[in-house]
Structure 1
Amino acid sequence: MKRFIIAFSVIMACQTVDAQTAKDSIKETEEFSHLTVGGYGEAVFSRNYFSDHVSRYSQPELHKDDPSHGRFDIPHAVVYLGYDFGQGWSFGTEIEFEHGGNGLAYEKEDEEGGEWEQEVEKGGEVELEQFWIQKSFARWANIRAGHIVVPVGLNNAHHEPTNFFTVYRPEGENTIMPSTWHQTGVSFWGRYKDFRYEAQLLAGLNADGFTNTGWIHKGHMSPLEFDVANKYGVALRLDNYSIRGLRIGLSGYYGESIGNSYPRNANGVDAEYKGQVLVGALDFTYKGHNWIVRGQADYGYLGDADQLKYLSNRVNKKSPYHHSAFVSKNAYAYGLEAGYDIFSQIRKLRQQEKKLYLFGRYEQYNPYASATKGVTYDYTAVKRMAVGVNYYPLHSVVIKAEYSKRFLKSQFNNEPSLNIGVAYEGFFL
């Protein structure tokens, strides 16, 4: 039978760790099938035992006794389709519904001093997160062109809900980098022996979207009908599987961000500075002896950070871009989580392939790690812990529950919460 590969980069960078944990981001099969259909989704309930007032950080003493607040949410509901045309040509797409869909809604923008803004959405977005055509020459050589996932960091490379213990995606990387990071470009990727590698050429990030509380998180978004490509970026990833049960990954990104906007200003700060973005990330996943352990460390640098305040689109209050005063030169995020399958010690449940992971997670992150022109935002420095359970009644379905707490600097109020969710991930056809 002809072997072929249909790859979805939504699950693309997760590779087979060992024979017992063989679900990964590249679907390989001995059976010939033209059409592949899959997806994943999450439904979540949260109760946050802290204030949601816009001034909870600027006036923390006024909000330390504010009531808790709760919410139901559909963070992600995703459908992906693939088709094999034959002779090495294949197609993949992913449609994602975030937080319930698309419509018209109002949002309260903390970064705009608590202003109410009307958004073309209804609690969320509908996005074409992937749309690509691929030519596979061999297992070690594949070229993909279109809208693709950028696998920088653990969260972007492994963002399906069965690839992290917490109810929501790990908070640190999700704060400082786009998540899921997807852009239009060209990718070369493949596997050779114990290595998987990928190199991408992309449209650059847009410095107009950088913020003090999210660093480059919104830099890949475009309010236009196209992605501006005045500047370009390069993303690289390398994963190694030499040790049974262990995957170790290195990834990074480099590109310019100032001037990658529309309309392009030929004068002033927009033309004079480059705004280089450099991100480096190390991550790993270990699965063995009934344990799953994951960890990551990310560090980012932004050149000319002190000039972003003066970009023409950020100065213009009518533009669709962010107008926050300053953005940090540096940002970081690191985290570690570990879970043990306690059902592995109960013979009947082990034979039924049910799993119950008792887990703990600790992370620390700061999107504003260096003061710009002496301006500080101390509430951006966060330490977070979470403990909870993941119950798998079936391989593709997980029920999650966790208690988590953000620890902020002493002048602010800590932020505990309780989260419960149910999620799935799998291929239907």
Structure 2
Amino acid sequence: MKLVVRVKLLPTPVQAAALEATLHACNEAATWAASVVFEKEARRVLELRKHAYAEIRARWGLGAQAAQHAIKKTCDAYTTLKANVRAGRYGRPGSRRHIRASGKPVVFRPQAAQPYDDRMLSWQHQARTVSIWTTAGRLKGVAFTGQAEQLAVLAAHRKGESDLLFRDGKWFLIATCDIDEAAPNTHPAGFLGVDLGMVNIAATSDGERHCGRRINRKREQDRKLRGKLQKKSTKSARRRAKRHAGKEARRAKDINHKISKGIVAEAERTGRGIALETLTGIRERARLRRPQRVKIHSWPFAQLGSFIVYKAKRAGVPVVYVDSAYTSQECSKCHHAARGNRPSQAVFSCRVCGFVDHADRNASHNIAHRGWYVWVCGAQSTAPELTLIA
């Protein structure tokens, strides 16, 4: 299983200047290579290498490995763009957004992340320093820091490339780690159903609800502040809005980590698997009022699901995905489904058998039942290959 660990670099001013110049050079080279791809349709690495490799080395003074990574990064960007266009994420062909995305070459930000392999970067874990290639020569003794647990994972399991990243005035290295998965529980005692929502971010079939009311109030305050800053539109207001957006993302990520950790721990303790809803396309399917649209679009439910999956794989807990259709309208006792079974957001009352329960807990029971059925039929989930844990 592949995980990603982010460590913070602590360069001196001279080292930071060299790292910044390196990022700028690599991204300028990648942007130029992207224009070559756009003109000559050379979207494969070997093909683009024939047109761009020598020019990149001569014009920007990049080393052999850095030039190779700039070319590969460009080809990967076009592959991602093509997949997004095919999936319709840029609208219909001929629309303004579609033309803006596919009608011009890809452009990389001057401080976009740059990949490093083991020839360009070496780690000294005991000294907590790295030796890293730059356009000004190889920098030795660049200090790094991080949480003790993350550094232990990094020292024991790091394998593959690492990305150099500059964000909000700070330098980071994002390292890929290959961790052995725990022996999976092939005979779970049942499944813990997890219902995701807006009022309760997550509700389990054990009756535990991670209430989102306080969080939603804070998010509403954040939205009002963001709107006020956008309306003001001064330089200082935009700078403050950018800082505030980072805080919102970090708060949501921290909450998702805590929720996923509790769910996986409970499933592991009781010898059960975890059943999750398939939420693909929920934003397109859901018909919501305007305030509800803001809530469902702003909370990272996919991130919460990915956190549950990777933590479950580390613990050997099986995870299955089930169809989310009518889980909120179906009775978990007699399985009669009707819209009238939901007299309110929080209450479920079956019109056939008279069963009454909290709506989210009833839905989580339905998800648990469907999870067991999926498991018996032999269909299992596929965990994402790469998940950020830092």
**Same fold by TM-score, threshold 0.5 exceeded?**
no
Structure scoring higher RCO (CA < 8 A, sep ≥ 6) equals 2
- Bin of the TM-score, shorter chain as denominator length: under 0.3
User: Where is the helix percentage greater, Structure 1 or Structure 2?
Assistant: 2
User: Where is the strand percentage greater, Structure 1 or Structure 2?
Assistant: 1
Structure label with greater radius of gyration: 2
